[in-house]
Structure 1
Amino acid sequence: MNLLRKKTVDQLVQESTPLRRTLGTFDLTMLGIGAIIGTGIFVLTGKGALTAGPALSLSFILAAVCCGFAGLCYAEFASMAPVSGSAYSYAYLAFGEIIAFIIGWDLILEYALQAATVSAGWSGYFSKLLEGFGLHLPVELTAAWGTTPGVTTYFNLPGFVIVLLITWILSIGINQTKRANDVMVIIKLAIIVLFIVCVVWYVNPSNWKPFSPYGLYSFQPGSTQPMGILPAASIVFFSFIGFDAVSSSAEETIEPNRTLPRGILYSLGISTVLYVIMTLIMTGVVPYKEFAKFINAPVAGVILATGLNWLAVIVNLGALLGMTTVMLVQLYGQSRICYAMGRDGLFPKFFADVNPRYRTPFKGTWFFGILTALAGGFININILFELVNIGTLTAFIIVSAGVMRMRRTQPDAHRGFRAPGVPFTPILAIVFCLVLIAGLNWETWVRFAIWFALGMLVYFGYSRKRSKLEPGRSPSDHADAEDGEGAGPALKTELA
């Protein structure tokens, strides 16, 4: 039983069945910004400010540095193996099948849980926007059961509908996805700049004192959660999740060797600058302890403190667009990871089927879109969002370690981009990831262990024997193993 059987770069590229290549550097940067800027600004800054005080800006920088080192490693892999699958495909190259499956399983957790979690926040802002026009949804249909203490809710209808709408856009083609994302990101950035220009004049520097009330890491009397810059960084790390989804678009990217690294790094840089500016302004306008009054809508609370009520409607729109692009990119990455795993035989071929008209993994996109919509609609998953962080940090560690391994085992492989400072860059990425993991609570570790155990049951019960690398099986065996067209033949016919 060879659990560490690997694929080569040539093998991955040869087996890839390119989808419609239309994404350039600008589109990838917009895709990355669309994934990063959303929940971090409009939701997590409230909890982050209570955890770190004004030093939350340093927490964002710490999380960004971690993602920056990891992003350099992703960029090297993306230029070396421009195929769908992101960290899953990279782990297949560097470490072998079982590690690749574990990372793919983690990424499913990352993308699905984040999209479902964001749909809950989207619903709240949508309800507030409607209230501004005198419209009110039945409170029972504004959130999942048990989400809001003291309020009876059963179903998150707005979140359910927006996830299905995004799924429809993703399923009908990358061009439609690209246009929708680009427009929403541009409007979102314009609204954030408007907020900065209008609100910066209300900053009171005395609100920044003390700048770091809880230090780097501490426990306060009566609190079971750690406080300080490091725990806040572990929380707001959630804000940066999504840039890795850019690398999963490799088979839909023009000149991926050049454009993928640029898209990853540009989106990280722009988003970090905006996060730091927004955090400093918000904690400068409102004393950090007062964020407890509006923890779920911190930007709206800051606007309320300034008296610029006209700005509230515009910022609510920006929040909706921000969260919409986050969900769009997460569901996009979800479908492409499962597409790659289905193509390799680790998931049913259903997920690798490509619609000949739209040239997208149509069935897999709708499968996970519906599951995510139901999860966000019925289940209170807010307590699980830290699972997204630990799953993503694990993937970052594997990718960073993979760069060092590939430099040693395949030093002459073509690399359109080489991460600078290897092995120090990936080592620093790993260290920062481990530091952020240490800031998570023990319940997250337990839940992650349960998810890992379920993944091992799937791998040994289904995936291992159906892998294309299983002795005696060939790509053609896999393609004919089940009813329906395989991704490869379908796309070859379409391209011809």
Structure 2
Amino acid sequence: MNSLLRKKDVSKIVAEATPLKRTMKTFDLTMLGIGAIIGTGIFVLTGKGALTAGPALAVSFLLAAICCGFAGLCYAEFASMAPVSGSAYSYAYLAFGELIAFVIGWNLILEYALQAATVSAGWAGYFNKLLEGFGFHLPVELTAAYGTTPGVTTYFNLPGFVVVLLITWVLSVGINQTKRVNDIMVIIKLAIIVLFIICTIRYINPANWKPFSPYGIYTFQPGSTQPYGIIPAASIVFFSFIGFDAVSSSAEETVNPNKTLPRGILISLAISTVIYIIMTLVMTGVVPYMDFAKFIDAPVAGVILATGLNWLAVIVNIGALVGMTTVMLVQLYGQSRICYAMARDGLFPKLFGEVHKKYLTPFKGTWFFGILTAIAGGFININILFELVNIGTLSAFMIVSAGVLWMRKTQPNAHRGFKAPGVPFTPILSIIFCLVFIAGLNWETWVRFAIWLAIGLAVYFGFSRRNSVLGKQAQKKARKAIDEAMAAAETKTETKE
């Protein structure tokens, strides 16, 4: 049992940091966080969210942001204690031991891969619309992997497959290239969002905001099994904020991580929340919330259509593509660094922990999971698996929050470059928010999550436990102690003789 709960020491885990190139600064981390957060939430989820909560969707975004904010404070404290790759995986290794750390790492792999694959499918849809605007049409058989349109058969999502491979190439050749590409795309994305707000704000009709909260906090409509209101909408738009935790996985490539990591996490969350709230108020002010049913898959495009600003549609379409590209980039980046950290600890094959001599990146591991993600987005129907992203993320949030409580108790004097304010209330509130969101998931999600965990436990007990670096060190130490004890006993016997 003790071997399952063996932990790493803070000083030891920092000393193990390997020679990844440290070039990320506060600006780059903020751009990385914004790149992960702003994308699908604005261009896709605002439609369904508006139908669920009405104009009060702005409050739902704020509620989801508060949940992530509490978790973000806990992430920031851990990141300042142990500025290493691995994010929640490494933090769990410090607080709760190897088995819990492996489970969290296993969940994060699912979260990052599945979200990147899902976003690649949405990216393909916007890309096809952009091509159609210029008179080009890809064969329908190569434009999606879902086959959900009646009478239409599709086999392969070619645009989504290609964009994931291109992002994987950028990630594999170096962090400098990655941050430059991400920074540029995030600036373009923010500029287009600001342009959208400036151009459409004069079309706001305050009457569309009344009633502001037509469904209240939580309610069921007659004849519907779907809950409506601010809280159910918050559960939907929570997906918008998934990914900010990937910022902490860049710790070993960050300059002065004790300060820059907490700043990057919290600043990106704050900026993204303000943008989401403003966008939501503008969109529900221009178009009555019930009308979003007409364009639920492309709510921003629907708002532009209502204003008659057709020239803006092409620009915003490009913004959607850029926005979702940055989301995929950050997700694949975070995934490769989680696997890198787990391989370094012996819990994954050494392949994933090898650092390229020229690019100083986990080259092989990046390509391995990049190809798998591209295949998943290209061939697999992943609609029914999307909620697994949510449950995997929430479980990680809860472990990190509980870890702050535990570390404050067991290691109160450990160096903390940043301290989460309001402890113990901050991590407790984070856990409560996560439990509320988890309670809203359906039972099929729990079953699929249990199957994924079962596979992970099989990997741990079949491979990881035997190859754990910490376990081998413990065995070596135990053998040395036994040898020393036997040698001492022999010396004592010879002395008596």
Q: Unaligned 5+ residue runs, structure 2?
A: 477-497
TM-aligned CA deviation for residue 220 of structure 1: 2.1
- What does residue 195 of structure 2 align with? 194
- What does residue 492 of structure 1 align with? none
Larger Rg computed on CA atoms: 2
- What does residue 483 of structure 1 align with? none
Does residue 382 (structure 1) correspond to residue 383 (structure 2)? The answer is yes
- What does residue 27 of structure 2 align with? 26
- What does residue 259 of structure 2 align with? 258
Encode CA deviations 1:444-469: one digit per residue, 9 max, x unaligned: 22221221111111111211111112
- What does residue 317 of structure 2 align with? 316
User: Which piece of structure 1 moves more, 209-218 or 108-117?
Assistant: 209-218
**How far apart, in 2, do the equivalents of 1:18 and 1:393 lie?**
31
TM-aligned CA deviation for residue 287 of structure 1: 1.4
User: Which piece of structure 1 moves more, 292-301 or 465-474?
Assistant: 465-474
- Asked whether the equivalents of residues 19 and 360 of structure 2 are also in contact (C-alpha less than 8 Å), the reply is no
**How far apart, in 2, do the equivalents of 1:325 and 1:367 lie?**
20
- What does residue 14 of structure 1 align with? 15
User: Which piece of structure 1 moves more, 317-326 or 45-54?
Assistant: 45-54
TM (normalized to structure 1)?
Answer: 0.94
TM-aligned CA deviation for residue 471 of structure 1: 4.5
Does residue 66 (structure 1) correspond to residue 67 (structure 2)? The answer is yes
**How far apart, in 1, do the equivalents of 2:365 and 2:262 lie?**
27
**How far apart, in 2, do the equivalents of 1:159 and 1:474 lie?**
47
**How far apart, in 2, do the equivalents of 1:464 and 1:394 lie?**
22
TM-aligned CA deviation for residue 85 of structure 1: 0.1
- Please tell me the residue identity of whatever aligns with 2:134: F
- Asked whether the equivalents of residues 163 and 369 of structure 1 are also in contact (C-alpha less than 8 Å), the reply is yes
Encode CA deviations 1:79-101: one digit per residue, 9 max, x unaligned: 00000000000000000011101
- What does residue 153 of structure 2 align with? 152
**How far apart, in 2, do the equivalents of 1:222 and 1:351 lie?**
51
Encode CA deviations 1:157-188: one digit per residue, 9 max, x unaligned: 10000000000000000000000000000010
User: Which piece of structure 1 moves more, 284-293 or 169-178?
Assistant: 284-293
Encode CA deviations 1:247-292: one digit per residue, 9 max, x unaligned: 0000000000000000000000000000000011111111112212
- What does residue 367 of structure 1 align with? 368
- Percent of paired sites with the same residue: 83
- What does residue 121 of structure 1 align with? 122
**How far apart, in 2, do the equivalents of 1:118 and 1:225 lie?**
24
TM-aligned CA deviation for residue 472 of structure 1: 5.7
**How far apart, in 1, do the equivalents of 2:188 and 2:274 lie?**
18
**How far apart, in 1, do the equivalents of 2:443 and 2:209 lie?**
31
Stretches (4+) displaced over 6 A: none
Residues 21-420 of structure 1 aligned to structure 2 (within 5 Å): 21-420=22-421
- Please tell me the residue identity of whatever aligns with 2:323: G
**How far apart, in 1, do the equivalents of 2:59 and 2:305 lie?**
25
- Please tell me the residue identity of whatever aligns with 2:198: V
**How far apart, in 1, do the equivalents of 2:213 and 2:5 lie?**
46
In structure 2, the CA distance between the partners of 1:216 and 1:154, relative to structure 1 (3 Å rule), is: same
**How far apart, in 1, do the equivalents of 2:148 and 2:244 lie?**
28
Encode CA deviations 1:17-71: one digit per residue, 9 max, x unaligned: 1300000000000000000000000011111111211111111000000000100
TM-aligned CA deviation for residue 393 of structure 1: 0.7
- Asked whether the equivalents of residues 203 and 284 of structure 1 are also in contact (C-alpha less than 8 Å), the reply is yes
In structure 2, the CA distance between the partners of 1:52 and 1:104, relative to structure 1 (3 Å rule), is: same
TM-aligned CA deviation for residue 149 of structure 1: 4.2
**How far apart, in 1, do the equivalents of 2:89 and 2:40 lie?**
25
**How far apart, in 1, do the equivalents of 2:126 and 2:254 lie?**
33
TM-aligned CA deviation for residue 151 of structure 1: 2.6
- Asked whether the equivalents of residues 79 and 417 of structure 1 are also in contact (C-alpha less than 8 Å), the reply is yes
**How far apart, in 2, do the equivalents of 1:165 and 1:51 lie?**
36
SS of alignment partner, residue 469 of structure 1 = helix
SS of alignment partner, residue 136 of structure 1 = coil
- Please tell me the residue identity of whatever aligns with 2:246: A
Encode CA deviations 1:328-351: one digit per residue, 9 max, x unaligned: 000000000000001101111111
TM-aligned CA deviation for residue 442 of structure 1: 2.2
- Please tell me the residue identity of whatever aligns with 1:367: F
**How far apart, in 2, do the equivalents of 1:155 and 1:227 lie?**
35
Encode CA deviations 1:462-495: one digit per residue, 9 max, x unaligned: 11111112246789xxxxxxxxxxxxxxxxxxxx
In structure 2, the CA distance between the partners of 1:57 and 1:193, relative to structure 1 (3 Å rule), is: same
**How far apart, in 1, do the equivalents of 2:468 and 2:409 lie?**
27
Q: Supply the RMSD in Å over aligned alpha carbons.
A: 1.4
- Asked whether the equivalents of residues 160 and 376 of structure 1 are also in contact (C-alpha less than 8 Å), the reply is yes
In structure 2, the CA distance between the partners of 1:186 and 1:449, relative to structure 1 (3 Å rule), is: same
TM-aligned CA deviation for residue 203 of structure 1: 1.1
In structure 2, the CA distance between the partners of 1:400 and 1:378, relative to structure 1 (3 Å rule), is: same
- Please tell me the residue identity of whatever aligns with 1:329: V
SS of alignment partner, residue 219 of structure 2 = coil
- Asked whether the equivalents of residues 25 and 260 of structure 1 are also in contact (C-alpha less than 8 Å), the reply is yes
- Please tell me the residue identity of whatever aligns with 1:287: P
- Asked whether the equivalents of residues 231 and 440 of structure 1 are also in contact (C-alpha less than 8 Å), the reply is no
**How far apart, in 1, do the equivalents of 2:327 and 2:31 lie?**
11
TM (normalized to structure 2)?
Answer: 0.94
**How far apart, in 2, do the equivalents of 1:407 and 1:148 lie?**
53
**How far apart, in 2, do the equivalents of 1:210 and 1:201 lie?**
20
Encode CA deviations 1:212-260: one digit per residue, 9 max, x unaligned: 2222222223323222211111111111011100000000000000000
Encode CA deviations 1:359-409: one digit per residue, 9 max, x unaligned: 100000000000000000011212221111111011000000100111111
**How far apart, in 2, do the equivalents of 1:391 and 1:408 lie?**
26
User: Which piece of structure 1 moves more, 174-183 or 146-155?
Assistant: 146-155
**How far apart, in 2, do the equivalents of 1:134 and 1:328 lie?**
29
- Asked whether the equivalents of residues 230 and 439 of structure 1 are also in contact (C-alpha less than 8 Å), the reply is no
TM-aligned CA deviation for residue 148 of structure 1: 3.4
User: Which piece of structure 1 moves more, 217-226 or 402-411?
Assistant: 217-226
**How far apart, in 2, do the equivalents of 1:5 and 1:438 lie?**
31
Encode CA deviations 1:76-132: one digit per residue, 9 max, x unaligned: 000000000000000000000111011101101110010000001100111111111
User: Which piece of structure 1 moves more, 36-45 or 462-471?
Assistant: 462-471
- What does residue 491 of structure 1 align with? none
- Asked whether the equivalents of residues 38 and 319 of structure 1 are also in contact (C-alpha less than 8 Å), the reply is yes
- Please tell me the residue identity of whatever aligns with 1:320: L
